[in-house]
Amino acid sequence: MNVTKNIKIFGLALTMAITGFSTQNSVAQSTKKQKYKIAVCDWMILKRQKLGAFGLAKEINADGIELDMGGLGKRPTFDSKLGDPVERQKFLDKSKETGVGISSIAMSGFYAQSFAKRDSINLMINDCVEAMKNMNVKVAYLPLGTESDLKKNPELRPIVVERLKWAAKQVKKVGGIIAIETSFDSAENVKLLKEIGCKNIKISYNFAHAVDNGLDIAEELKILGKKNIGQIHASTTDRVWLQNDENVDMPKIKQTLDDMNWKGWLIVERSRDVNQVRDVKANYGANVAYLKKIFQGL
């Protein structure tokens, strides 16, 4: 009788153990397969192409960093360490050590430099694509910036489109995309993408553009459409933290992206509190925490 009872108790305990393990395993897999991941720009947390960006990102609980290619200035290409196999491996090792991923590789030099007029564009793009290939990163971020703002300089459109068509062919070779940021609204961005005519060029959507122009972010995302969004810069112009920004209805934005079945990286660029704009940990920690609360339920 005791033997039978002991067997039943052992069986129950074993079932509970297996069930518990299964539940924990499911949670782990759910976290690993998270539909939305949160990153920060390495240059905005003052760690532009520095190994310390990974540690700081981990400290503020970000899932990844948007890793910059480095300064441009008047150089023929980016001032980047990523072309050096030894230096590049250090970044990969640090990413693995901290568990902080790389959302995308940014060409932030084009915020102020002209993508339309600069010479050696081919070299710059190829250097970025090579870094993507060697680091297994599928998205490159390209802001067209002030010098190639097609809204203000429509005469530059033919050369920008031509160069993006060429760039699309290069990034296609590594199975990646280039996500461009423009000053257009979503309807105009769709027209631009159709003109380029390649699925390897998408839009890096920035909340700030909608807010600064009095547009509804959720509606703009719908107009742009799932297939055209390469990544999202989920922040606005510096003023207040995202959680305190009355112009950003984050639950509505999340529901919109859910309905579209979009998945990918949400990257914090700004949304710093102007009263403590230099406090990197406070600003980015708060914005990351808020995005994780809304998009990951954490």
List domains and CATH numbers for the chain.
36-296 (3.20.20.150)
The mean pLDDT value of the chain amounts to: 91
Q: Give me the pLDDT at residue 7, please.
A: 41
Q: Give me the pLDDT at residue 182, please.
A: 98
Q: Give me the pLDDT at residue 12, please.
A: 42
How confident is residue 155, by pLDDT bands cut at 50, 70 and 90?
very high
Contact 32, 24 (CB under 8 A): no
pLDDT above 80 (res 31) = no
**Half-sphere exposure at residue 16, Cβ-oriented, CA atoms within 13 angstroms:** 6
Report, as an integer, the average pLDDT of 209-218. Answer: 97
Q: Give me the pLDDT at residue 32, please.
A: 53
pLDDT above 70 (res 24) = no
Q: Are strands 139-143 and 201-206 parallel, antiparallel or unpaired?
A: unpaired
Contacts of 198 (CB under 8 A, 6+ apart): 164, 165, 168, 169, 172
**Half-sphere exposure at residue 161, Cβ-oriented, CA atoms within 13 angstroms:** 14
pLDDT above 80 (res 36) = yes
Query: Which tops the pLDDT comparison, 216 or 17?
Result: 216
How confident is residue 23, by pLDDT bands cut at 50, 70 and 90?
very low
Contact 172, 140 (CB under 8 A): no
Tell me the β-bridge partners of 41: 66
* pLDDT tens column, 260-276: 999 999 999 999 999 99
Q: Give me the pLDDT at residue 298, please.
A: 80
pLDDT above 80 (res 293) = yes
How distant is the alpha carbon of residue 145 from its chain centre? 17
Q: Give me the pLDDT at residue 87, please.
A: 98
Report, as an integer, the average pLDDT of 283-288. Answer: 98
Report, as an integer, the average pLDDT of 176-191. Answer: 98
Q: Give me the pLDDT at residue 34, please.
A: 84
Share of the chain above pLDDT 70, in %: 89
* pLDDT tens column, 37-75: 999 999 999 999 999 999 999 999 999 999 999 999 999
Q: Which of 51, 25, 62, 22 lies closest to 298 in space, CA to CA?
A: 62
Q: What's the CA gap between 124 and 116, in Å, rounded?
A: 13
pLDDT above 70 (res 291) = yes
pTM score, whole prediction: 0.89
